[in-house]
């Protein structure tokens, strides 16, 4: 299995989500037991809902454990060129925007977190302040100027 890259913050968030799910599990087990104690399971809505909730929690726990097992927190080594984890301010014809270069499991363009394997992220890696990149989008060719790396 390949290593899954995370920022330090993203990796800590995964651990926190796992703790939250692990803390939810005992309550879901109790709810399932209450549903089971009510008798006829074929028409028992509480039992079915509790069983589904426990199944969802267990699935999320397995998923988070997998990400943590193969995940690796990674931080940039310096600010000379854009690396995984950097905050990058770029400028195009619509103005300035600051993005963080993250892994595919942390990416959320709405929060200005872009994956290092996305077209923009891939083109930014290794570039320095003052460099320009050109990227073809659905709106045509865009030019981006790198303003700041932090």
Give pLDDT tens digits for 41-97.
Answer: 777 788 889 999 999 999 999 999 999 999 999 999 999 999 999 999 999 999 999
Answer for the pair 125, 137: CB distance below 8 angstroms, yes or no.
Answer: no
Residue 64 lies in a domain: yes
Nearest to 21 by CA among 58, 47, 51, 50: 58
Query: 45 with 69, same domain?
Result: yes
Helix axes 8-37, 45-70, angle to 10 degrees: 160
Please report the pLDDT score of residue 105 as a whole number: 96
94, 67: one domain? no
Q: Any bridge partners for residue 141, and if so which?
A: 136
Residue 135 sits in a domain whose CATH number is: 3.10.50.30
CATH number of the domain bearing residue 24: 1.10.287.180
Asked whether residue 142 carries a pLDDT value surpassing 80, the answer given is yes
Same domain? For 43 and 11 the reply is yes
Mean pLDDT of 109-120: 96
> Does 144 lie in the same domain as 92?
yes
Do 95 and 140 reside in the same domain of the chain?
Answer: yes
pLDDT band at residue 139, thresholds of 50, 70 and 90?
confident
What is the span of the domain harbouring residue 44?
4-73
Q: Tell me the per-residue pLDDT of 87-109, one tens digit each, with 9 for 90 and over.
A: 999 999 999 999 999 999 999 99
Task: Considering only CA atoms, give the Rg of the chain.
Answer: 22
81 inside domain: no
CA–CA distance, 63 with 5 (Å, rounded to integer): 15
Tell me the whole-structure pTM to 2 decimals: 0.85
pLDDT reported for residue 37? 85
How confident is the model over 4-15, as pLDDT tens digits? Answer: 999 999 999 999
pLDDT at position 76 is 95
Domain end, chosen from 16, 41, 73, is at: 73
Number of separate domains in the chain: 2
pLDDT of residue 39: 76
């Amino acid at each position: 299995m390949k290593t899954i890259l995370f920022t330090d913050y993203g990796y800590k968030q995964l651990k926190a989500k796992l703790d939250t799910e692990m803390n939810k599990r005992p309550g879901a087990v109790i709810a399932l037991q209450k549903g089971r104690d009510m008798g006829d399971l074929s028409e028992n809505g509480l039992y079915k809902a509790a069983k589904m909730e426990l199944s969802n929690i267990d699935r999320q726990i397995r998923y988070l454990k997998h990400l943590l097992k193969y995940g690796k927190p990674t931080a940039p080594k310096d600010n000379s060129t854009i690396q995984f984890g950097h905050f990058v301010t770029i400028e195009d014809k619509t103005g300035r925007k600051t993005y963080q270069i993250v892994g595919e499991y942390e990416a959320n363009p709405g929060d200005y977190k872009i994956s290092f394997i996305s077209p923009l992220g891939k083109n930014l890696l290794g570039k320095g302040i003052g460099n320009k990149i050109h990227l073809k989008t659905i709106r045509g060719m865009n030019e981006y100027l790198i303003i700041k790396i932090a």
